[in-house]
Amino acid sequence: MVTTRTPLIAGNWKMNLDHLQAIAFVQKLAWSLKDAKHDFESVEAAVFPPFTDLRSVQTLLDADKLVLALGAQDLSAQDSGAYTGEISGRFLSKLDVRYVLVGHSERRTLHAEDDGVVATKVAAAHRSGLVPVICVGETAADLEQHGPSAVPVAQLRAALAEVPASAEIVVAYEPVWAIGSGQAATAEQAGQVCSALRTALADVAGSDAAAATRILYGGSVKSSNIASFMREPDVDGALVGGASLDVDEFASIVRFQAHVGV
Ligand code: PEP
């Protein structure tokens, strides 16, 4: 089956850049990509700012007709009610947020989000019309004990437990040992795990859904290594942390086709 999975380069800002810094950053990013005549239809670029920046960035994207997609870094498992401090997916939808990270390793580790919580958040995103970017990945200890694919595949299967097979999702394979460490997986390792994730998706949601779903690699992605990942047939983009905070570096990652001839 022939599919066209538009590559997605997603920048997870984590807890960086306030709303004023966010406006300046997004303006500069958009100018830089436009100057370089980036074809936004051939590679989609998305930014995932902190919650407090979303309204400002949305207003800018709308006013200047910028073709960057907006993502959030988390959402509540609930839609509304007495959940102090939580953010509903419905509120995010109203801000033209298209994507939401679910199950990032920092949420799993620092906020005790287990597979059950992740599944309920994936379902909440789907109910609100958001596309969950489901983050999965093994720790260094998992890698030693179970090999590279077992934990991410099990996490993905669990994350899909409460949504229909037709739900649009993005998967991000992020080995925990590669996040923020400067030590990225090899392209071959990433390709193998992404292929195993696609096989699991086919089993859970059917082969058409698996063929249409974008699977990203994340973990110390930079402009100097993005090309190698993008040459892997089952890698459809990248989730970028640290390097997404440098406009020129992030723009260069988004423009991987231009400088490597993939
Ligand atoms: C991340 O936090 O999702 C990530 C991939 O971070 P970094 O690119 O800094 O490794």
Of the residues 104, 126, 138, 232, only one is catalytic, namely 104
Specify the pLDDT at position 258: 82
Specify the pLDDT at position 262: 47
Q: Atom 2 of ligand 1 has which residue's CA nearest to it?
A: 241
The number of residues in the chain equals 262
Mean model confidence pLDDT for the chain: 96
Domain made up of 8-259: CATH architecture: Alpha-Beta Barrel (3.20)
Model confidence at 67, pLDDT cuts 50, 70, 90, reads: very high
Q: Atom 4 of ligand 1 has which residue's CA nearest to it?
A: 241
Specify the pLDDT at position 11: 98
Q: What is the mean pLDDT of residues 83-107?
A: 98
CA 255 – ligand 1 centroid, Å: 18
- Asked whether residue 156 carries a pLDDT value surpassing 70, the answer given is yes
CA 5 – ligand 1 centroid, Å: 22
Specify the pLDDT at position 1: 47
- Asked whether residue 165 carries a pLDDT value surpassing 60, the answer given is yes
Which protein residues are within 6 Å of ligand 1, measured from CB?
A: 12, 174, 179-180, 218-221, 239-243
Spatial separation of the C-alpha atoms in residues 212 and 151, rounded to whole Å? 23
Q: What is the mean pLDDT of residues 117-121?
A: 98
Specify the pLDDT at position 3: 62
Ligand 1 atom at minimum distance from 178 CA: 10
Identify the bridge partners of residue 240 per DSSP, sorted by sequence position. Answer: 11
Residue 174 designated active-site: yes
User: In a 3-state reduction of DSSP, which class is residue 17?
Assistant: coil
Of residues 86 and 258, more confidence is placed in 86
Within 8 A by CB and 6+ apart from 237, the residues are 7, 8, 9, 10, 43, 44, 214, 216, 217, 230
Model confidence at 261, pLDDT cuts 50, 70, 90, reads: low
CA 242 – ligand 1 centroid, Å: 6
Q: Which of 73, 100, 174 to mutate to test the pocket of ligand 1 (most atoms within 8 A of CB)?
A: 174
Q: Which two tokens stand for residue 79?
A: 């839609």
Specify the pLDDT at position 4: 82
Q: What is the mean pLDDT of residues 213-236?
A: 97
Percent share of the chain, pLDDT over 90: 96
Spatial separation of the C-alpha atoms in residues 196 and 186, rounded to whole Å? 16
CA 68 – ligand 1 centroid, Å: 19
Ligand 1 atom at minimum distance from 218 CA: 5
Ligand 1 atom at minimum distance from 14 CA: 2
Model confidence at 202, pLDDT cuts 50, 70, 90, reads: very high
CA 44 – ligand 1 centroid, Å: 18
Pure H helices in the chain: 19-35, 54-63, 89-94, 105-110, 115-127, 140-146, 150-159, 187-205, 207-212, 226-230, 247-254, 256-260
| Terminal alpha carbon distance of the chain | 21
Give backbone dihedrals phi and psi of 211, rounded to 5 degrees, phi first: -70, -25
Within 8 A by CB and 6+ apart from 127, the residues are 79, 89
